Amino acid sequence: MQACRKLTVREYIRASKSENTLRGYQSDWRAFCAWCEARQLCPVPASPETVAAFIAECASTLKVGSIQRRLNAITEAHKAVGLDSPTHHPMVTNTMKGIRRTNGTAPTQKTATLIGDIRAMVDATDAGLIGIRDRALILLGFAGAFRRSELVGLDAADGAFGKDGLTVTLRRSKTDQHGAGRKIGIPYGSNPGTCPVRNLQSWIEQADVTGGPLFRSINRHGKVQAGGLSGIDVARVVKKLADRAGLDAAKYAGHSLRSGHATSAAIAGASERSIMNQTGHRSVQMVRRYIRDGSLFRENSGGKLGL
């Protein structure tokens, strides 16, 4: 009985973090252990001097965010065996501050897909089922401001069609690991060719999706598969269509749909509140960054100078 209780506790602790986070921690912890082994240093318990030297060396090849994730992995590994983490020592925190000041913390953002880009990408889709799926995928992702993980996590039962449009029940997301869920409205578009609701209806009907994953892979024979798409598949679709539309595919990815919604909505004059309702952002600062990007020229004092 005691062994069962211990196993249950471990499972609950594991469930407290997403699978992606756990995989990242495991990879980062292996990197730290290998680094320590090569220098005959002890990873557990690690000394502050060891951790500071490790992140200082990482700073020459890794971004600040990746280094922070490695620190998080070291922290979790020490906590797992009941030890205080050396990552909180002033030597480590000051080293990290120096790395941030030297290397900067500005993230590299993929380019947002604006409405003109979306129209061009829709025009560049394939004929047949692949094209029907890809149109539905990018239009729903753009209109709903979905993360790629949210898009591929949708089941057929998560969408309800009504007279005003589509209601999507998002059962779990990056910022909702507890599964409280929320509903997102997708209105009908004025143009049938780019209407996310009509294009999704077409995909469901043509692919005969009656249950299970909403967006699915299609084999080389044109047969719809039972398995759903992955987040990487969404990025590939966006890059493929961006390239065909004459855009620089390297600058676009799955997140371009989500950031494109926020930016395009800001350009159109949507309020912060309405954008946050759709994106699910908890931080107004993040949304305001999109709004600033969308307002660079719409509300630019330089245009008032008479040049």
- 89: annotated active-site residue: no
In 10 A of CB 35, how many CB atoms? Answer: 17
Q: Output phi, psi for 217, to 5 deg.
A: -75, 160
Taking CA 25 as the corner, what is the angle to CA 70 and CA 59, rounded to the nearest 5 degrees? 20
Tokens coding 267: 């350009």
Cβ atoms of residues 242 and 248 within 8 Å = yes
Cβ atoms of residues 227 and 217 within 8 Å = yes
* Closest alpha carbon to 100 in 57, 74, 68: 68
Q: Is it true that the peptide bond before 45 is cis, omega within 30 degrees of 0?
A: yes
- 281: annotated active-site residue: yes
Give CA–CA dist 264/268, Å, rounded. Answer: 6
Cβ atoms of residues 193 and 118 within 8 Å = no
Q: Which residue is it, tokens 């909702």?
A: 176
- 70: annotated active-site residue: no
* Closest alpha carbon to 170 in 20, 15, 290, 279: 279
Q: Is it true that the peptide bond before 196 is cis, omega within 30 degrees of 0?
A: no
Residues 147, 198, 216, 261: which is the catalytic one? 147
Per-residue exposure over 141-171, b if at least 16 CB sit within 10 Å of its own CB, e if not: bbbbbbbbbbbbbbeeebbeeeeebbebebb
Strands 165-170 and 182-187, bridge-based pairing: antiparallel
- 290: annotated active-site residue: yes
Residues 23, 174, 182, 292: which is the catalytic one? 174
Q: Any idea which residues carry the catalytic annotation?
A: 147, 174, 255, 258, 281, 290
